[in-house]
Structure 1
Amino acid sequence: MQVEVLTLLAWVSNIVGRVRTAYCYSGIATRLALSLGMHRAASRYTTLTPVERETRRRTWWVLYFFDRFSASKLGHPIAVRDEDIDVEMPSMEGLTTEEMAEFLDPRSLIINIKLGRIIGNILTQIYGIPKATNGRYIHQVHSILKQLRAWHDELPPDMLVRERDTPRTVANLALAFNQCIIQTTRPVLLHLFKTQVQLGSRVRQDASSIILALADSCVNAAQASSHIVENLFLDGSIAMFGYYDAQHIFSAAMILLMSAVMKPTAGSSEHLETLLGALRCLRENGNIPAVDFCDRLSHIQTRISTLRATGRLGGGTFERPSTRAPPVAGESESAFNHTANQNQLETPSSVNNEAEDHAEILGNPLIGSFLDTNKAEWMDYLFADGTLGEFNTEIEEQFLFGS
């Protein structure tokens, strides 16, 4: 019961925007659960009833997912390694018909648990300390994206996003999946963005096709999240006071902001404006995390305008988006002037082409070839100095502009 109460306190803390407090509560709950042996398979000599065993399993796995999800938002370590866990997955096995009525179908929870494992791998394999990552960023990205693709391919049809009326649980899953792709590939886009800031109007010629394709996947994931958020508003199912929706909106907006700055297009600007409008709506309705996210975006927009005024950034003129109503279908307006500077750094193809919203995020043929190749030699010159850890948490202004 104590573990369940602490887990509930963590969820409530997240709802009111106290994400670090939530992380602490989940950490205490995890330690308590470990001391109770909830992470281990039940002994055959246990005196627990089938209902009690299943309750313990589900409580542990909910806490497991919450810990990894929270850690991914803050850039903190996960509480327990997968190698130390052997408790069974949630199931209805061994329960009578009457006992089954006490539990929900475990399928959705199992899908989330599997995604939670990948989230843990992202934190340890990509954003771990230099000794853990071994300076092999591209190889780690290859491994994580293969896991994400396999996870997505196993989803049943009713767990996929629809054009309209997507169930809220499915939308949550899709946003989390998109966020995993963003976190895996975001350092590449940040690297390209910071390079453009440093070079100004000069052209960079050494970006490989794999690097550009990975950045392309990052932008695709952000655009897919924008489409989901827009539909959540249209369906009236956005979590007006929740933390996770606001955080996903902010994270995707940051990616699209960088994409639009590097080379403005109508498509990227419309997706960005949708997210900015959604975040403003959450802020105006009292969403506490959205207030901070809006302030951070406003600060970054001001910084971009300053860089352009001093000639350190080329391209279109950045316009601060107006404080208009939340996005509705067909109402998006451009946040940028779409005149592209031909001397800019080459950007991913999704920024240059108006791709369909429902295009597969990892559908780039080059990405497919990259993931299907197991023994290719990839240049791991990116982040060999251990600076990858700077990008673990959500993007900070000093990481973007080096000040």
Structure 2
Amino acid sequence: MGMHLNVPEFQLSDREAREHRNRVWWTAYIFDRMWASRLGQPVSIQDDDIEVDLPSSDGLAGTDSGDFGDPEYLIANIRLAKLAGHIIASIYARRRQQGAFSQRVQQVLRDLRNWVKDLPNRLQLDTDEPSQTAPNLIVSLHLSFNQCVVLATRPILLQVLRTYRESWTNPPSDPKPQIPGSALALAETCIRCAQHSYRLLTEAWIDGSFATFSYFNTQYLFSAATILAISSLLNDRDSQNDGDDFEAAAQFLTQLEQNGNFAAKEFCRHIDAMRVSMKAISGRRDESSSDPRGVYPALTTPRMPGAIQEAGLPYIGSMVTAGMALAEPSLQELLSQPDFNLQFMDTPIYDDALQSLYWPELPTEGWMAG
């Protein structure tokens, strides 16, 4: 249809019609990138092929400009959607990539940090008011940002969990798995963003603004529940709370399923399978002499809200927001380095070992039953 190209002004001189056409395209672009990032699919059209002006209110007549939403809000969504597509292509694509895995993660997090810094003040979550008072569009924007950070850091968290699990299953002579501090800082960033999303979603449910049949909100909830489940297994200072929040999120999904949300129905099946695996892992951990508490300081160090507020990023009560997580001094130091150490992932990434994090071995019979 050629929607990804500008129409010459002599063919379409009406300013409002041109702006409407541009915004139809960018809305489709946002949905394409967001659906691709949620479903793990490639994007429909590459950024290099797009030649459409960004949304703007310039030149719109006063009587007509009210028909168009805030262009800065749309531009923030477009930039975030572009980053989501880049995350899928650079971190999750199975083709051979340029550069080490750690370099790609580092660049993505730098881009996400810059997105937060460039966000207009009116699109930030108000740090002085409960998030329930924020407009739904702003909450949705920050939920989407949280999910991008989770996507960028989730492979590291999964690898950390795998390393822990191996030490519990086959305790070595030294029960302390060798995990670099950079990986632990990134794993913690993933957990903090999931915690923040969970809080935003539960507050939306309480105040009645949660869209019962929204796939995106339901997927955000399931994604946060998955991260909370992993955190509950790591025995850090928040593990008990995260385990409780995981169960609460599971009940939340069950209620959505009972209300007719088809996505929640599918996610609840995964939650049931996760509970079985969590019980088995907890049993192995308890039988092992290995106890990660006190061994992994990046997962046990108290938060530093003062330093985060100095960076100009939002702090909501005692909850670490995604912007705060990216402003943690330890992570800031990592992002300022030319490269950081994720060697325990860089080697297997090219041997398809990372794919086993997402495609585990399954029983050959009956795994589709029910």
Q: Name which of 271, 275, 287 aligns with 1:301.
A: 275
Note if contact 2:164-2:177 (Cα within 8 Å) is conserved in structure 1: no
Corresponding position: 1:342 with 2:306: no
Aligned positions, number: 336
Structure 1 CA distance, aligned partners of 2:264 and 2:250?
10
Q: 1:322-341 to 2 correspondence within 5 Å?
A: none
Structure 2 CA distance, aligned partners of 1:217 and 1:300?
22
SS in structure 1 at match of 2:187? helix
Structure 2 CA distance, aligned partners of 1:215 and 1:343?
14
Q: Name which of 349, 352, 356 aligns with 1:383.
A: 349
Letter in 2 for 1:357: M
Letter in 1 for 2:331: I
Residue 308 of structure 2 is matched in structure 1 by none
Residue 160 of structure 1 is matched in structure 2 by 124
Tell me how far 1:199 sits from its aligned partner.
2.9
Q: 1:83-232 to 2 correspondence within 5 Å?
A: 83-131=48-96, 133-134=97-98, 136-162=100-126, 163-164=130-131, 165-200=133-168, 202=171, 203-232=175-204
Note if contact 1:253-1:275 (Cα within 8 Å) is conserved in structure 2: yes
Residue 310 of structure 2 is matched in structure 1 by none
Tell me how far 1:397 sits from its aligned partner.
6.3
Structure 2 CA distance, aligned partners of 1:398 and 1:353?
37
Tell me how far 1:375 sits from its aligned partner.
5.6
* CA deviations over 1:368-389 (Å, ceiling 9, x no partner): 0111223667633352323445
Structure 2 CA distance, aligned partners of 1:315 and 1:341?
9
Letter in 1 for 2:219: Q
Note if contact 2:36-2:42 (Cα within 8 Å) is conserved in structure 1: yes
* CA deviations over 1:13-43 (Å, ceiling 9, x no partner): xxxxxxxxxxxxxxxxxxxxxxx32212232
The normalised TM-score by structure 1 is 0.76
Letter in 1 for 2:80: L
Tell me how far 1:225 sits from its aligned partner.
0.7
SS in structure 1 at match of 2:286? coil
Note if contact 1:196-1:344 (Cα within 8 Å) is conserved in structure 2: no
Residue 277 of structure 1 is matched in structure 2 by 251
Corresponding position: 1:267 with 2:232: no
Note if contact 2:253-2:268 (Cα within 8 Å) is conserved in structure 1: yes
Corresponding position: 1:241 with 2:209: no
Q: Cα gap change, 1:169/1:389 in structure 2, threshold over 3 Å: closer, same or farther?
A: farther
Structure 1 CA distance, aligned partners of 2:32 and 2:302?
38
Q: Cα gap change, 1:343/1:373 in structure 2, threshold over 3 Å: closer, same or farther?
A: closer
Note if contact 2:102-2:341 (Cα within 8 Å) is conserved in structure 1: no
Note if contact 2:183-2:341 (Cα within 8 Å) is conserved in structure 1: no
* CA deviations over 1:139-189 (Å, ceiling 9, x no partner): 001110011011011122222224232211111111111111111010011
Q: Cα gap change, 1:87/1:207 in structure 2, threshold over 3 Å: closer, same or farther?
A: same
Structure 1 CA distance, aligned partners of 2:144 and 2:353?
25
Tell me how far 1:197 sits from its aligned partner.
2.6
Q: Cα gap change, 1:306/1:101 in structure 2, threshold over 3 Å: closer, same or farther?
A: closer
Q: 1:392-403 to 2 correspondence within 5 Å?
A: 398=361
When the two chains are superposed, the root-mean-square deviation of aligned CA atoms in Å is 2.7
Letter in 2 for 1:166: A
Q: Cα gap change, 1:178/1:351 in structure 2, threshold over 3 Å: closer, same or farther?
A: farther
Residue 229 of structure 2 is matched in structure 1 by 257
Note if contact 1:137-1:382 (Cα within 8 Å) is conserved in structure 2: no
The normalised TM-score by structure 2 is 0.82
Structure 2 CA distance, aligned partners of 1:59 and 1:388?
37
SS in structure 2 at match of 1:145? helix
Structure 2 stretches of 5 or more lacking a match? 305-317
* CA deviations over 1:106-127 (Å, ceiling 9, x no partner): 2211110010110011011111
Structure 2 CA distance, aligned partners of 1:94 and 1:166?
30
Letter in 1 for 2:186: L
Structure 1 stretches of 5 or more lacking a match? 1-35, 317-339
SS in structure 2 at match of 1:314? helix
